[in-house]
Structure 1
Amino acid sequence: MTSGPENPLLAWEEYPDFGRIEPHHVEPALRAVLKQSQAELERLEQTQARTWHGLLVPLERLQDRVSRVWGVVTHLHRVRDCAALRTAHAAMQPAVVEFFNRIAQSRSLYDALQYIAQSPEFARFSQALQRTIMLAVRNATLHGVGLEPEQRERFSALARELAELRTSFSTNVLDSTQDFALVLHKAEDVQGLPDDCLALAAAMAQRRGHSAATATQGPWAITLDLPSYLAFMQHSARRDLRQQVHRAYVTRAAHGQWDNAPLIRRIMAVRHEQATLLGFPHYAAMSLASKMAPSLDAVHEILRQLREAGTDPGLTDLIELSDLAHAHGQNEDIQPWDVLYWAERLKEQRLGLRDAELRPYFPLPAILDGLFALAGHLFGVYFELAQAPVWHPDVRYYQVYNEHNERIGGCYFDLYARPEEKRSGAWMDELAGRSSVCAPVGSCVRLPVAYIIANQRPPLADQPALMSFAEVSTLFHEFGHALQHILTTVGHGFVAGVNGIEWDAVELASQFMENWCYDRPTLVRLARHYQTNEPLPPDMIDALLRSRVFRAGSATLRQVAFALTDLKLYTAPEPEHIDPIAIAQHMASEVLPLAPVPEDRSVCSFAHIFSGGYAAGYYSYKWAEVLSADAFSLFSAADSDEHGILGRRFRDTVLALGGSRPPMDVFRLFQGRDPDPKALLLQDGLLTQENT
């Protein structure tokens, strides 16, 4: 297969022709760009250029050439997976990893960067360029540039192995999730499921080969894909079936051909060896070397505060569920497979909120319109549906314009679950980042393009996709990431948008946008019935606003347990000799008011810390949530007519500056002071104003 211009992975500027990309295009395209960029890298090392234009400009270009092709391949691997693409991805991954390791470990480039950083000219550089250079130096250090040749090669070999392990971990989670389906044929097996859940279960059955399945007659398939799993666990009156589905969910990727337990031990051992090669006592210390948090002690302290604030409310939450279950005739003690069911009943009782009644007010097309309108009001940006090549017919592409009607970027939305080919969860990724250096011919800058990926319920035959409030919140969250990627004004690609932002600060923009789901005027504008266009009734809006603090203690403790498990695993002195399942079980039992079942193996599907980017960094969600809660408190305290002014300030600092300045500096520019951890406790109802 040729690597020439007819290869769709190579023949594109703004976006590739996704529909033409086939697995056999992957290897020739990557070998072509790797060959060209490696040759340029060798020339760059030989010339020993020690200026911004002589070093940083070609370095950005040669890395971008590989990144943009590999990024498309990785994206398709996540959203349009197949056996041939997996094989092609696995075949080329070592070469790609080795290429970027080679750059990070280049002593010639490192010496040149250090020379520039120590030169008199450095002080005259822009803050973005200074930050680019210092981050490159830090990255080189953390990739072993200072090691002896033999150790450096060992570090690279470990990096290649780690990339393969992470991919295998993720694939096992996907395959084991797809493998399970509980097919129900009797009406008594679906007791309690509302009509929309029955329709979803029938649609899942149709995908599983039951072509005649209907919502009223069945059969109904319950899968471990999150929309299906949550719907069943929240509404099924069949406790025995909830137990069966729960046990399947918490043992994903924990048995047989998809068992991730051996991979977990090896992933931890590889990361530990990398850390010790660099002189760190454990991987957590290495991870924190590139984070906003100043120390492991600082992380533990904020987790301690959150745990302390959440413990009593979390215990109260459990007692309330237990009392409710007993009042409705459940004589057995409450178990993990009961929690979602009785929490939903308590929410209905206390708040009057029923998911089936809310969904008609959150049709996806209207929610997107409302989200775009909010972005326009706050940040002066506008989204316009446009034509572009897509990888699935359900995908939509939007051009993004600023208040001067100048196009500033684009964004793809791929929001529906496709469990047969698409990884679970929700995320934002980039097709292209903003860059002056990589601008197309005739342009002064390359515009950023983002992907927003989710896995919500698809439209049914007679209605649009109707979203749960949680799905609305998730969409707002990922939209925040996309805004930071698209609205950046930085021209240096290494620190534009989300690039270069410390991992524990990168959730600030996403969680900030999530907060707007709990803003009354926003909800009033947003929530409209898909058939009548009637607004969400005021009493339901009141209930949604109160729902933010509903079981907040339990939600906080759950995140703390995840974060502490992560840190415990990655501070282990001999990770190959520990039992990660036992550690996760112990930590959950210590922190949570209700211990997991003995056979719980959910750590085997904890993708965030094993295949994702949150290793020894899961605490980042709560760390950034402090930043977002504090930032949003300015808007909560202001009149709505001030939101546009504050929104522009947020745009011109947090969203515009991206990684071009340290995150604490960016936060201070917006807020005028350091973040206050109490803001999060107040937001979650775990602290009252009287106690501040």
Structure 2
Amino acid sequence: MASSFLRPNIITRHLKRPFYQNKRNSGYVVLIPEIGEDAERSTLLSENGLPEFNDFTIEKCIATISKQSLEYENGVKQIEESCLNCKNAFVEVFQPLEKLDSQLELTWGMAKTLYLGNSCLMPTKSYIQIHERAHKARSTKFNSVPIYQAAVDEKNRLKKLSDEEQRLLDKYILEGKLNGLDVKGSKRDRLNNILNNLQKEKNTIRQKVSVATKVFSSIINNELVIKEFPESLAKAMSINHEADKGPWKLTLQPHIYEPFMQYCPDRNLRWNAWQALMQRCSGYVNKDLETSTNIEKLRGYRAEQAAILGYDSFVDMSMETKMAGSLDNVVNVLDSLLTKARPMQDIELEVLQDYANERGFDSKLEHWDIPYWQRKQKWSLYSFDENKIREYFPLPKVINSLFNLCSNLFKIQIVERSDTHTWHKDVKYYDVYDETYNKPIAGFYLDPYAREDEKIRVYDDAGWHVSIRQKNVITSTQPLTALIFNFQPPVDGKQSLLTFKEVSVLFHRFGHALRHLLTTANYSEVAGLSNVEWDAAEVCGHVMTHWLYDQHTIQSISGHYKTDEPLPEEIVTNLQNIRRHMAGYELCKEMYLSRLDLELHSKKTFWREVVTELWPKYNALPFDKYDSHVLSFTKIFSEEWGAAYYCHLWSKMIAADIYSAFDEARESNQDILTISRRYRDTFLATGGSCHPSEVFRRFRGRDPSPHALLKNLGLANKIVEE
């Protein structure tokens, strides 16, 4: 039975109590498979120790993972025997487990890399088979009572432990606790029953939302409606797959719906689409697809699961694996942000209303109007055209500049190596060298281009980071990872050109990967991204994207693909303005969903009553009585973000505070390299081997504050009259 969770006090003079009071310091469960170590005997490795991607077959991978899974399960049983008279759990239990992990997780990582990088070589059905088998095998050590007890006994021994050893023990102990290893008798049977029912309800909700999303469609024959549509949107909607040839089909799929709402000039069409989206899975449309009953059952099961495991609520259980540590800490931060963002939302919508009225709009702005007029206002204010800016970001220059930036900041060298096997000719492999070593300390693959019918694509195309192999001193292996994107490929000899959003995606994913590549932890279970709390997992990615708003950096990475002329200063300034455009409105939306999730998982109140109470606190526009958005909120009900949706916002807050140290250094003429070295030695080096609250204190010398995030969004200095 796998657990249901993955992955410093904030002090301010403006509050009577600190935002964030963390009294516990335990380890954390990793939900998404963290991919493992070296495997010298693996049939999937080449002589240079890297994966043999060009000799890869599904049959070989399935056979290998099956063999390794059996070996893994047998190995866990042998280690369990050594737990009986264990004198030193690190030597007798955890180091053998580290060796055991290596081969299984390398194969698992290769399979996931190919699944995302070339689905022809690794179809979904095959990957699911491999993933489920490997996950089942790896779960055995976290469901082992002897291993759990060995961790408890080792922690109770009167000897000093390092941060990393403490975190390793805490991880096994918390995994065991969340898996119910302390639960006996009829409660254990009930817990197993609850977990089975939870999975059924999650699957049912997912399926119903999927069907409800596909049910709606609307045919558009009027060419004037699609006149301003981007070519990619018009082509995606065209029944004939030709942008300028209709009819065009509107659906609720995100890659259609979201840009449609931004570009559609017909208000009635926008209203129709919005109503269809918000009424999915409600009783207003199709009672067979209604999810309210399923959601209430799921909430009940989660509350009971938490109670059996000794927690007051599912949120309290969730906080065991979060940097925030408690519901109060999260609420305090959200409330602090709300005091600035909510009044600004009122002003922003008033200004947007005036803007729309000046252009002939004669009604009060409603939910379905905001995306359309927001886009038009942004263009009017800043003349922002992603396709025009694209000409200044040729991919080769951006990548070289990114590598140079990392070399300067973190004293590493990134060098391409040619004697490697990859899954496509466009994929390149790079070694990472530290300035103090003459041999690589890590390596990564870079697969930049979209390939139709080969790569998995999602609406936001945020790229993928796959940990193929973790750093592991016990097995003498170095980190290995893959970065997979869907950028526009070169056409007719013209370089691949990136939008600013795509540049941000590249920087974010690379910053995320640096935590994996530059870790100094000894145990793979707490190295790099393993064992990092959910709400701190994306921090390093967000920190890297902040560099794009530094004028010197953005000028250095940009250059017109024809003339190499850097991005004009006017556009550089506007990038900052665009980030702040309607920031109060956008921040309130994110905070509302975060708080909604927490309320739904900490109270028994019916979901609609929760919405009715929360809505006016975060939203200036009135609540539509037919709005049933909770019923299709799959992130928290059928994915893994239940009681954890706030993590996205929390990680942005922490990242903004971290990056503000660089801003402060510039303002006081301090050495930037001193800050970057400290950042590498803390956040990039420790990974999951130290609690992120302590890591933050070591970097900043204090506890986190939301002020930097508000400042970046242009909300910090707004004076609001009571």
| Structure 2 equivalent of residue 17 of structure 1 | 53
On the 8 A contact 1:428/1:482 being kept in 2, the answer is no
On the 8 A contact 1:50/1:113 being kept in 2, the answer is no
Query: Compared with structure 1, are the counterparts of its residues 65 and 8 closer, same or farther at alpha carbon in structure 2 (3 Å cutoff)?
Result: closer
Identity fraction in percent: 27
| Structure 1 equivalent of residue 184 of structure 2 | 148
Query: Compared with structure 1, are the counterparts of its residues 336 and 463 closer, same or farther at alpha carbon in structure 2 (3 Å cutoff)?
Result: farther
- The Cα shift of 1:189 comes to 2.8
Q: Secondary structure at the match of 2:481?
A: strand
**In the alignment, which of 617, 634, 654 is matched to residue 644 of structure 2?**
617
On the 8 A contact 2:468/2:482 being kept in 1, the answer is no
Q: Secondary structure at the match of 1:289?
A: helix
Task: Output aligned runs, 1:580-659, within 5 Å.
Answer: 583=610, 587-588=614-615, 590-595=617-622, 599-600=626-627, 602-603=629-630, 606-639=633-666, 642-659=671-688
Query: Compared with structure 1, are the counterparts of its residues 450 and 360 closer, same or farther at alpha carbon in structure 2 (3 Å cutoff)?
Result: same
Report Cα offsets for 1:579-614 as digits up to 9, x if no partner: 4x7755764454122356555555455454345443
Report Cα offsets for 1:44-89 as digits up to 9, x if no partner: 1112234212100122233454444445555666676699955556
Name which of structure 1's ranges 596-605 and 520-529 shifts more when overlaid on structure 2: 596-605
Name which of structure 1's ranges 413-422 and 380-389 shifts more when overlaid on structure 2: 413-422
- The Cα shift of 1:500 comes to 1.5
| 1:422 and 2:457 aligned | yes
| 1:435 and 2:471 aligned | yes
Counterpart amino acid of residue 622 in structure 1: L
Q: Distance between the aligned counterparts of 2:341 and 2:707, measured in 1? A: 13
Task: Output aligned runs, 1:445-460, within 5 Å.
Answer: 446-453=477-484
Counterpart amino acid of residue 141 in structure 1: K
On the 8 A contact 1:94/1:163 being kept in 2, the answer is no
| Structure 2 equivalent of residue 367 of structure 1 | 398
On the 8 A contact 1:608/1:615 being kept in 2, the answer is yes
Query: Compared with structure 1, are the counterparts of its residues 162 and 589 closer, same or farther at alpha carbon in structure 2 (3 Å cutoff)?
Result: same
Task: Determine which structure has greater relative contact order: mean sequence separation of CA pairs < 8 Å that are 6+ residues apart, divided by chain length.
Answer: 2
| 1:409 and 2:438 aligned | no
**In the alignment, which of 60, 72, 82 is matched to residue 37 of structure 1?**
72
Name which of structure 1's ranges 49-58 and 485-494 shifts more when overlaid on structure 2: 49-58
**In the alignment, which of 101, 104, 111 is matched to residue 149 of structure 2?**
111
| Structure 2 equivalent of residue 497 of structure 1 | 528
Q: Distance between the aligned counterparts of 1:532 and 1:128, measured in 2? A: 51
On the 8 A contact 2:267/2:369 being kept in 1, the answer is yes
On the 8 A contact 2:463/2:486 being kept in 1, the answer is no
| Structure 1 equivalent of residue 572 of structure 2 | 541
Name which of structure 1's ranges 126-135 and 488-497 shifts more when overlaid on structure 2: 126-135
On the 8 A contact 1:174/1:424 being kept in 2, the answer is no
Counterpart amino acid of residue 702 in structure 2: R
| Structure 1 equivalent of residue 6 of structure 2 | none
**In the alignment, which of 65, 84, 98 is matched to residue 60 of structure 1?**
98
Query: Compared with structure 1, are the counterparts of its residues 509 and 431 closer, same or farther at alpha carbon in structure 2 (3 Å cutoff)?
Result: closer
Task: Output aligned runs, 1:168-567, within 5 Å.
Answer: 187-193=223-229, 197-198=230-231, 200-201=232-233, 204=236, 210=240, 213=242, 215=243, 229-247=257-275, 264-265=295-296, 267-386=298-417, 397-403=429-435, 404=437, 406-407=439-440, 408-413=442-447, 416=450, 421-425=456-460, 426=462, 428-436=464-472, 439=475, 444=476, 446-453=477-484, 464-567=495-598
What RMSD, in angstroms, separates the aligned Cα atoms of the two structures? Answer: 4.0
Q: Distance between the aligned counterparts of 1:590 and 1:521, measured in 2? A: 40
Query: Compared with structure 1, are the counterparts of its residues 218 and 313 closer, same or farther at alpha carbon in structure 2 (3 Å cutoff)?
Result: same
On the 8 A contact 1:314/1:554 being kept in 2, the answer is yes
Q: Distance between the aligned counterparts of 1:506 and 1:150, measured in 2? A: 36
Q: Secondary structure at the match of 1:401?
A: strand
| Structure 2 equivalent of residue 674 of structure 1 | 703
What is the number of equivalent residue pairs in this alignment? 667
Gaps of at least 5 residues in structure 2 are 1-40
On the 8 A contact 2:467/2:482 being kept in 1, the answer is yes
Q: Distance between the aligned counterparts of 2:107 and 2:205, measured in 1? A: 23
- The Cα shift of 1:348 comes to 2.1
Query: Compared with structure 1, are the counterparts of its residues 263 and 650 closer, same or farther at alpha carbon in structure 2 (3 Å cutoff)?
Result: farther
On the 8 A contact 2:392/2:566 being kept in 1, the answer is yes
On the 8 A contact 2:429/2:443 being kept in 1, the answer is no
Counterpart amino acid of residue 644 in structure 1: L
On the 8 A contact 1:201/1:221 being kept in 2, the answer is no
Query: Compared with structure 1, are the counterparts of its residues 566 and 56 closer, same or farther at alpha carbon in structure 2 (3 Å cutoff)?
Result: same
Counterpart amino acid of residue 568 in structure 1: E
Name which of structure 1's ranges 672-681 and 282-291 shifts more when overlaid on structure 2: 672-681
Q: Distance between the aligned counterparts of 2:74 and 2:535, measured in 1? A: 36
Q: Secondary structure at the match of 2:536?
A: coil
Name which of structure 1's ranges 531-540 and 181-190 shifts more when overlaid on structure 2: 181-190
Greater helix share, 1 or 2?
Answer: 1
Q: Secondary structure at the match of 1:53?
A: helix
Query: Compared with structure 1, are the counterparts of its residues 526 and 668 closer, same or farther at alpha carbon in structure 2 (3 Å cutoff)?
Result: same
- The Cα shift of 1:220 comes to 6.2
Q: Distance between the aligned counterparts of 1:38 and 1:68, measured in 2? A: 16
Q: Secondary structure at the match of 2:432?
A: strand
TM-score calculated relative to the size of structure 2: 0.80
- The Cα shift of 1:286 comes to 0.3
| Structure 2 equivalent of residue 129 of structure 1 | 165
